[in-house]
Amino acid sequence: MLRPDTGVDSGWDLRLAAPARRGRAAKLVCLLSHIGAGCLLALLFFRGGSDAWNIRQRAIYRWWHGRLCDILDISVRVSGRPGREPVLLVSNHVSWLDIPVLAGVQPVGFLAKREVRDWPVVGWLCRRVRTRFIARGSRKSSANALGGLVDDLKTGRSMAVFPEGTTHEGSELGNYHPLVFQSCIDAGVKVQPVVLFYADHRGRHLPEAAFIGDDGFVPHLWRMLSLSGTRVYVHFAPVITPEGETRRDLARESRRIAAERLGGFLGGD
């Protein structure tokens, strides 16, 4: 459930209502039940086709991801406003949790690494909701993924990408690769920088939330189940119009905006 967050001053500020404190085992039971419910909903309402989603599909998609954050005791606090759809969201990348955090706020599609397609259950769910996949280092895969992004944007669906291409621990940014920005140029839609900042219940940077290096999915999930009061600050910066800009220009400007806001989060702003 979303409710107003009076702890943040600017923009459209929402957060997921924090659940009652649960132990790790209880959270795991809730999580497994929720994944089962997600599989049933995916079978009933999502066919993986190219048609635009209806209101019911969008609502289910947002609810499921928002409830996932709720089960993990993650409070999502939003500032700024998502751009009018369709828009290409470009976000810094900290964890696999970035996906449910963003999708719980706005029913966006995603570009994910090719390996996710083959993950048990998760890969199937991603395919049902039309996630796009890209194989790192493959020009053919990159071209296909870019074409898919353009097609989705042209159907009116907002898409989210992580232009760093990999995760970081949340206090710094990697380079923003320009290629994905070509999709908003080709589709004629605006780009919107998004900044994610993971914090503890006091608002301090939470490096334990990062999914980096040799982290395995199950150990990381187990670590997140042990935490309580995790906050994720999501900032939607003003949209950027791509007309007259190159993809390198868009990548540079998006990263500059993200770095400035991330610095504010780290400084307690």
Q: Residue ranges per domain, the chain?
A: 2-266
pLDDT of res. 2: 37
**Given a cut of 70, is residue 18 above it in pLDDT?**
no
For residues 106-114, average pLDDT: 91
pLDDT of residue 4 exceeding 90: no
pLDDT tops 60 at residue 134:
yes
Q: Is 8 exposed, middle or buried (0-12, 13-18, 19+ CB in 10 A)?
A: middle
Judge residue 207's burial from the number of C-beta atoms within 10 Å of its C-beta, 0-12 exposed, 13-18 middle, 19 or more buried: exposed
Q: In percent, how much of the chain has pLDDT > 70?
A: 91
Residues 183 and 159: their CA atoms lie apart, in Å, by 10
**Where are the alpha helices (H) located in the chain, listed in sequence order?**
24-45, 55-71, 98-105, 122-128, 139-154, 182-187, 217-226, 247-266
Backbone angles phi, psi at 3, to 5 degrees: -150, 155
Q: How far apart are CA 236 and CA 78, in angstroms?
A: 8
Q: Is 156 left (phi over 0), alpha (psi -120 to 50) or beta?
A: left
Q: Treating both helix axes as pointing N-terminal to C-terminal, what angle do 98-105 and 55-71 enclose, rounded to 10 degrees?
A: 130
ω into residue 86 within 30 of 0, thus cis? yes
Residues 158, 87 contacting (CB under 8 angstroms): yes
- 10 burial level (CB within 10 Å; 0-12, 13-18, 19+): exposed
**Residue 3 confidence (pLDDT):** 35
Percent of the chain with pLDDT over 90: 74
Give pLDDT, residue 202: 93
Residue 11 vs residue 240, higher pLDDT: 240
Amino acid at site 16: L
- The pLDDT tens digits of the residues spanning 152-183 come to 999 999 999 999 999 999 999 999 999 999 99
Q: Which of 51-65, 131-145, 146-160, 168-182 has the lowest mean pLDDT?
A: 131-145
The Cα–Cα gap between 147 and 191 comes to 17
pTM above 0.75, yes or no: yes
Q: Which of 57-61, 77-81, 132-136 comes out lowest in average pLDDT?
A: 132-136
Provide the pLDDT for residue 142.
87
